[in-house]
Amino acid sequence: MQYISDLDLQSRPDQPRHLAIMGSTGSIGTSALKVIRQHPEKFRIIALAGARNIELLAEQANEFRPQYLGVLEKDLASGLKKKLASGYSPEILAGTEGYTRLASLQNVQMVLSAMVGAAGLMPTLEAVDKGKTVLLANKESLVLAGHLIRAGCERTRAVILPVDSEHNALFQALQGHGAGELDSVIITASGGPFWGRKASSLEDMKPEQALAHPNWSMGAKISIDSATMMNKGLELIEAHHLFGMPMDKVRVLVHPQSIVHALVQFCDGSILAHMGVPDMQMPIAHCLGYPRRLDPGLEPLDLAACTELGFYRPDPGAFPCLELAVEAMKSGPSYPVVLNAANEICVESFLTGRIGFMDIPRINSRALEEHCPTAVDSPREILNLDHQTRQRVSELVLQPAG
């Protein structure tokens, strides 16, 4: 991988790392804070940003006392201020401009990009532009702008450390192996709550069933993406950008136990696997401590207790989103932007009861069919296309299925 090079963090191993956590109130953000609580001497939190959950953000702020906080809107900033401990008055920034400022603060070395969806794009690009080490959970940034992120890293020597469990596993399994040795990489999918079911039985699935992930505790959007397997489609694109692998050399196997996170297949046919308990504190700790290992304080993986480890080919009939993502990536750089925006609207519409579960792949597919390729060479062009697609797909969700 081009992006992951010698970290200059290595030259200051005993200094606390200065962090900005974008999305601190989410599942990844709170898991990161759990890891940091166990190693307080190793980190100094300079900025914490959430969106609407000012109760939790205030709690986190009163505990970690960062100099800066970020929220979605100005009105939320005044509410947040009232919840802060007396005598503690950090600067509170709001909206996309505020978030991008937090991601580019001069005294921040590491930015954890853990906002959900396209909202994570601008802070991620800004952190890259300022040459930060970016702990990247927000896979949507790479789906939307992998080409810009790569170019930015080359220009500024910013470093991306993959937080997403499969990509973190690949990063570890690939270390020390040259491109000439590799055949392909495999990321695993749990299959989600509906693995093994036929497409026809999925039409009536309700949000609470789709949110019930069998192995991982995660935010709502990624949980629905796991249930449709769009998550794995987005992850194929993510792996392509992170590791510079052609799309047809990045594969998916369904592994319902989520113990093996990724595998590397070499040109001699042999396979190296990365295994670990399914808890995001594991890859987050790996990134926070990199290049040293940091103990996340979890129960170590007990292989003797893993009586079954199964691997299966995905079922494209029941989970068409996986193939939609592959096709989008192959069709040109504006297609993944359309797919991501369409999918965000579909997930929100499914969660609020406006469309059924299998309308998610149907409407995503329709959005891709309607799309005429367009330039996505700048953040502005990407955000314009994202916006237009959201408007169009908001109309599609109102039309009766058929």
Annotated binding-site members = 25-28, 51-53, 138-140, 164-166, 190, 213, 219, 226, 231-232, 235
Residue by residue, DSSP assigns 11-39 as G-TTSPEEEEEETTTSHHHHHHHHHHHH-
| Binding of ligand DXP by 165 (CB under 6 A) | yes
By CB under 6 A, is residue 130 in contact with ligand NDP? no
Of 50, 145, 124, 137, the residue nearest 341 (C-alpha)? 145
Nearer to ligand DXP, 92 or 169 (CB): 169
Q: Answer for the pair 104, 127: CB distance below 8 angstroms, yes or no.
A: yes
Q: What is the DSSP letter of 301?
A: P
134 contacts 127 by C-beta, under 8 angstroms:
yes
Preceding amide of 291 cis, omega within 30:
yes
Tokens of 322: 């996986």
CA distance 217 to 31: 10
- Which residues in the 144-203 window bind ligand NDP by CB under 6 A? 164
Residues 48-67: x/- map of binding to ligand NDP (CB under 6 A)? --xxxx--------------
Which range binds Mn ion by CB under 5 A, 93-101, 127-135, 163-171, 341-349? Answer: 163-171
**Residue 348 binds which entry of ligand NDP, Mn ion, ligand DXP, none, CB below 5-8 Å type-dependent:** none
Task: Report CA Rg, the chain.
Answer: 20
How far lies 175's CA from each of 171, 181, 205, 397, in Å? 6, 12, 41, 44
Single out the segment in contact with ligand DXP by CB under 6 A; choices: 103-111, 113-121, 164-172, 240-248. 164-172
Task: Work out whether 172 is an interface residue with ligand DXP (CB under 6 A).
Answer: no
216 vs 266, beta carbon nearer ligand NDP: 216
Beta bridge partners of 92: 69
CB of 117 to Mn ion, least distance (A): 15
Query: Cβ 175 to ligand DXP, closest distance in Å?
Result: 19
Q: Of 20, 135, 222, 346, which lies in the binding site for ligand NDP, with binding defined by CB under 6 A?
A: 222
| CB within 8 Å of 340: residues ≥ 6 apart | 117, 118, 140, 143, 144, 234, 386
Q: Annotate each residue in 225-264 with x if it binds ligand DXP (CB under 6 A) or - if it does not, as one string.
A: -x----xx--------------------------------
Which range of residues in 9-17, 22-30, 323-331, 359-367 is near ligand NDP by CB under 6 A?
22-30
Nearer to Mn ion, 54 or 135 (CB): 135
Sites for Mn ion among residues 85-144 (CB under 5 A): none
User: CB under 8 Å to 324, separation ≥6 — which residues?
Assistant: 230, 233, 339, 361, 364, 365, 368
What does the angle CA 350 – CA 356 – CA 359 come to, to the nearest 5 degrees? 95
When CB distances to ligand NDP are compared, the closest residue is 26
Binds Mn ion (CB under 5 A): choice among 126, 164, 225, 348: 164
Burial zone of 40 (CB within 10 Å; 0-12 exposed, 13-18 middle, 19+ buried): exposed
Q: Could you say whether residue 27 binds ligand DXP (CB under 6 A)?
A: no
Out of 39, 184, 211, 216, the only residue in the binding site for ligand DXP (CB under 6 A) is 216
- 115 counts as binding ligand NDP under rule CB under 6 A: yes
Using rule CB under 6 A, residue 161 touches ligand DXP = no
Annotated binding site for 1-deoxy-D-xylulose 5-phosphate: 139, 165-166, 190, 213, 226, 231-232, 235
Neighbours of 220 (CB within 10 A): 16
Nearest residue to 280 via CA among 48, 53, 20, 35: 35
- Determine contact, residues 100/122, Cβ cutoff 8 Å: yes
Give the residues across from 159 on adjacent strands.
133
The token duo for 283 is 């890859």
Q: Binder to ligand DXP among 60, 190, 340, 364 (CB under 6 A)?
A: 190
Q: Which of 126, 129, 140, 164 binds ligand DXP (CB under 6 A)?
A: 164
Contacts with ligand NDP by CB under 6 A lie at 23, 25-29, 50-53, 72, 114-116, 119-120, 137-140, 164, 216, 218-222, 280
Contacts with ligand DXP by CB under 6 A lie at 164-166, 189-190, 192, 216, 222, 226, 231-232, 280
